[in-house]
């Protein structure tokens, strides 16, 4: 009776476990499904438009000088290149002009007349002191 209360003897359990271990379990069939990738045309990424550059404003600057002079415009907008923007005397009367397109902002400039840096003589123009201890003409655009 003690054996009935305690359960089967360890030897009996081992025999049962061995039988179970040697018993063939039905194997499940596994099927491998091959998926073929659908061929599609590559989709181009949407084009990103560059941010619109600030629209430039056409500005015409003029200066009076002796007919036949060599006149240039130099300023913060062209790296102060003394021969960057040549001014033209269309009528031969000494009135030199040049047209530049500039984004909105504040610019400093000077005329270079026969090699001499000159302020804009227009009384309506502002002037500002530069780092060389002289003055520059000021142009406000926009």
pLDDT tens per residue, range 90-137 = 999 999 999 999 999 999 999 999 999 999 999 999 999 999 999 999
CA dist., res. 77 & res. 101, Å (int): 10
Q: What is the pTM of this model?
A: 0.61
> Do you know the residue count of the chain?
142
The three-point CA angle 90-91-97 to 5° equals 40
Judge residue 77's burial from the number of C-beta atoms within 10 Å of its C-beta, 0-12 exposed, 13-18 middle, 19 or more buried: buried
pLDDT tens per residue, range 49-95 = 544 545 789 999 999 999 999 999 999 999 999 999 999 999 999 99
């Amino acid at each position: 009776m003690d054996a009935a209360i305690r359960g089967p003897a360890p030897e009996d359990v081992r025999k049962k476990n061995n039988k179970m271990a040697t018993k063939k379990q039905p194997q499940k069939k596994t099927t491998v499904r091959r998926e073929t990738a659908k061929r599609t045309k590559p989709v181009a990424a949407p084009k990103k438009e560059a941010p619109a550059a600030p629209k430039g404003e056409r500005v015409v600057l003029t200066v009076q000088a002796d007919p036949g002079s060599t006149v240039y415009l130099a300023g913060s907008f062209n790296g102060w290149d003394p021969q960057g923007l040549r001014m033209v005397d269309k009528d031969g009367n000494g009135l030199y002009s040049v047209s530049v397109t500039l984004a909105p902002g504040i610019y400093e400039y000077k005329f270079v007349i026969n090699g001499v840096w000159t302020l804009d003589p227009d009384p309506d123009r502002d002037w500002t002191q530069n780092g060389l201890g002289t003055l520059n003409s000021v142009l406000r655009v926009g």
